């Protein structure tokens, strides 16, 4: 008969303990055991291992493109994670001269590119290289600043109805429905005629983007986008303060939002010995010094400022200490793109009426036909001769915030899982 074995009492058992070899201890004892080939990722207390780190460039779905350093800096403040804290992990394709910043914003792995120069040519070249290196991209967002049209046309509004017409204020954000190249055409002695044929016009967005924009144009969609933008703007400002950034992205205030009558020129109004004294019409020249001096230095007359209902409401909020005064509105419409900076209120309004655009910028036409693209830009000036740099940082911040809020609304597309060895 077999003797029944009894469990040992750990308190009285003095038999020698045989260590149980774990996988790690076996690896140390026997170097002949092969290890699977994986991407070497080392974790450290300062950089913990993130399980969502992509293994290849093809896993990136979203690209962000900025033309100015101030735009790039604002966008970086809204990254949730950077994948390149310890150096570049993903490289680039042969022939690609772009320098990339990689990380995660919300649910998406994103790649950010800063253009070496402004304008359509630089944007087109960078976008082509971006597409070559990151072949899995489904959406590119051009993020930055632009010149806004103060009273954009709207098909459901009468232009002469001052109480109901749309108003774009500084710091608001415009989102592209379509892009129009306003400087592509022929110059005649008496006029410039834009080329407006099917071959010359940029294509419309793909179905995914049109579907997204259609949702954002609803009252519900726009409200959620604006609420998200306001929330991320506060997050960006807090991040800038926490990092002790030189730029704090503060709201400049309604007193700095000044819109002059389009025909009122930015010039010396009490000229002594300069050609400004002969400037009476829109096409008359002014002295070079006036082009770089502020309205305060030139003593531009405040009686020529245009009163706006939305600005009055914001001023009341600001006076009451309501933080909603800095909350930007979102405007979805056509955007004019060209290599010429518009600094004329009269030309701005003429072009805006002719093309039905809400803003002017310089890079959209270059990116548009290279990648599935949406332009998201903060209004930094009114594209007139009185424009200043006062609002550029804040406008860059509102654009970056709107970009992140838009990504919250962008629907992820399922991918076929690739095996990871």
Q: What is the reported pTM?
A: 0.82
- Ordered by start, the domain boundaries in the chain are 60-251+329-409
Contact, 319 vs 343, CB < 8 A?
A: no
Running DSSP on this structure, what letter comes out for residue 305? B
Contact, 353 vs 165, CB < 8 A?
A: no
Degrees, nearest 5: CA angle 181-185-186: 160
Map tokens 């970056």 to a residue.
Answer: 400
Q: Which CATH class is domain 60-251+329-409?
A: alpha beta
192-194 and 185-187 beta bridge pairing: antiparallel
First vs last Cα of the chain: how many Å apart? 53
Q: Which residues of the chain have pLDDT under 50?
A: 1-2, 10-12, 16-49, 155-164, 421
Map tokens 């649910």 to a residue.
Answer: 107
Nearest Cα to Cα of residue 383 among 371, 395, 375: 395
How far apart CA 96 and CA 125 sit, in angstroms, is 9
Within 166-253, strands assigned E span 173-181, 185-187, 192-194
The pLDDT of residue 281: 72
Judged on CB neighbours under 10 Å (0-12, 13-18, 19+), 180 is buried
- Per residue in 332-371, pLDDT (tens digit) is 999 999 998 998 899 999 999 999 999 999 999 999 989 9
Contacts of 388 (CB under 8 A, 6+ apart): 294, 295, 381
The pLDDT of residue 292: 76
How far apart CA 240 and CA 250 sit, in angstroms, is 10
The pLDDT of residue 277: 67
The pLDDT of residue 417: 58
Q: According to the 3-state scheme, what is the secondary structure of 323-351?
A: HHHHCCCEEEEEEEECCCCCCCHHHHHHH
Helix then strand then coil, % of the chain, to nearest 5:
30, 15, 50
Running DSSP on this structure, what letter comes out for residue 104? E
Map tokens 């992820």 to a residue.
Answer: 412
Q: Which helix (H) or strand (E) holds 397?
A: helix 392-409
How far apart CA 228 and CA 62 sit, in angstroms, is 19
The pLDDT of residue 279: 75
How far apart CA 383 and CA 147 sit, in angstroms, is 5
Could you give phi then psi for residue 126, rounded to 5 degrees? -65, -40
Contact, 381 vs 390, CB < 8 A?
A: no
Running DSSP on this structure, what letter comes out for residue 392? H
From the CA atom positions of the chain, what is the Rg in Å? Answer: 28
Average pLDDT, the chain: 83
The pLDDT of residue 153: 80
Look at the chain and count its residues: 421
């Amino acid at each position: 008969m077999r003797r029944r074995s009894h469990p040992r009492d750990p308190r009285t058992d003095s038999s020698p303990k045989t260590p149980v070899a774990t996988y790690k201890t076996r690896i140390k004892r026997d170097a002949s055991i092969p290890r699977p080939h994986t991407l070497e990722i080392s974790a450290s207390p300062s950089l913990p291992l993130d399980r969502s780190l992509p293994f290849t460039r093809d896993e990136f779905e979203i690209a962000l493109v900025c033309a100015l350093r101030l735009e790039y800096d604002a966008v970086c403040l809204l990254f949730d994670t950077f994948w390149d804290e310890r150096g570049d992990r993903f490289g680039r394709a042969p022939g690609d001269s772009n320098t990339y910043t990689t990380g995660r914003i919300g649910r998406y792995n994103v790649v950010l590119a800063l253009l070496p120069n402004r304008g359509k040519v630089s944007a087109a070249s960078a976008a082509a290289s971006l597409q070559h290196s990151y072949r899995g991209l489904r959406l590119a967002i051009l993020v930055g600043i632009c010149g806004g049209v103060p009273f954009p046309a709207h098909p459901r509004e009468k232009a002469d109805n001052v109480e109901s017409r749309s108003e774009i204020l500084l710091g608001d954000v415009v989102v592209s429905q379509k892009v129009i190249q306003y400087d592509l055409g022929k110059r005649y002695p008496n006029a410039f005629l834009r080329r407006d044929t099917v071959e010359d016009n940029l294509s419309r967005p793909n179905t995914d983007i049109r579907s997204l924009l259609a949702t954002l144009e609803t009252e519900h969609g726009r409200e959620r986008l604006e609420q998200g933008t306001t929330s991320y703007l506060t997050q960006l400002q807090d991040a800038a303060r926490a990092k002790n950034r030189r730029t704090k992205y503060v709201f400049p205030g309604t007193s700095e939002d000044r819109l002059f009558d389009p025909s009122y020129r930015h010039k010396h109004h009490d000229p002594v010995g300069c050609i400004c004294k002969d400037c009476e019409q829109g096409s008359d020249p002014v002295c070079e010094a006036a082009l770089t001096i502020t309205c305060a230095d030139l003593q531009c007359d405040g009686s020529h400022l245009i009163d706006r209902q939305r600005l009055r409401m914001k001023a009341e909020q600001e006076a009451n200490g309501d933080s909603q005064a800095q909350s930007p509105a979102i405007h979805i419409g056509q955007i004019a793109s060209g290599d010429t900076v518009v600094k004329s209120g009269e030309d701005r309004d003429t072009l805006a009426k002719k093309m039905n655009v809400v803003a002017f910028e310089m890079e959209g036409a270059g990116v548009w036909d290279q990648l599935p693209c949406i332009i998201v830009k903060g209004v930094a000036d009114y594209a007139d001769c009185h424009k200043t740099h006062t609002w550029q940082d804040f406008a860059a911040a509102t654009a970056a915030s709107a970009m992140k809020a838009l990504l919250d609304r962008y629907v992820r597309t399922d991918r076929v899982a690739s095996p990871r060895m």
